[in-house]
Amino acid sequence: MAIADDFRGEFGTDFTAAEIATVATTKYKFHYNFDYGVSPERDYPILYCIAHLIAVGRTTQPSATELSVSIGPVSKTYQNPQEGDFSRFFNATKYGQQFLQITMFNKGGVFV
């Protein structure tokens, strides 16, 4: 199956049709450099990586100078992550957390 079809099967109700249409062009390889469709062990984390990237794109992040936001009696303070803080970036969504969990045990070399 194609990556968009697999994504729709895994997360279909969580994402809009327009978001699913962007799946094939998502630049997930910047975060997880494996080709899709080679092995199920690699495909599953790729789907979660893409879901995380789309979900992160939905939210509005404060600018570098905006470290605190208040709306009425509710306030939120942001801590800017250090550049390259891989786990903090992926912990921002439930999909990213699942991606980290899946790939945690996959850190070693790939034996052929």
Instruction: Look at 66 and 34; give whichever has higher pLDDT.
Output: 34
Q: What H or E segment, with its residue span, contains residue 44?
A: helix 40-58
Q: Are strands 74-77 and 68-71 parallel, antiparallel or unpaired?
A: antiparallel
Contacts of 5 (CB under 8 A, 6+ apart): none
Model confidence pLDDT, tens digit, residues 4-17: 999 999 998 999 99
Cα dihedral 83/100/10/108 (nearest 10): 110
- Is 50 exceeded by the pLDDT of residue 105? yes
pLDDT of 7 reads: 93
Place of tokens 């899946």: 102
Instruction: Please report the pLDDT score of residue 27 as a whole number.
Output: 86
Instruction: Inform me whether the pLDDT recorded for 110 exceeds 60.
Output: no
E strand residue ranges, the chain: 68-71, 74-77
pLDDT band at 55 (very low <50, low <70, confident <90, very high): very high
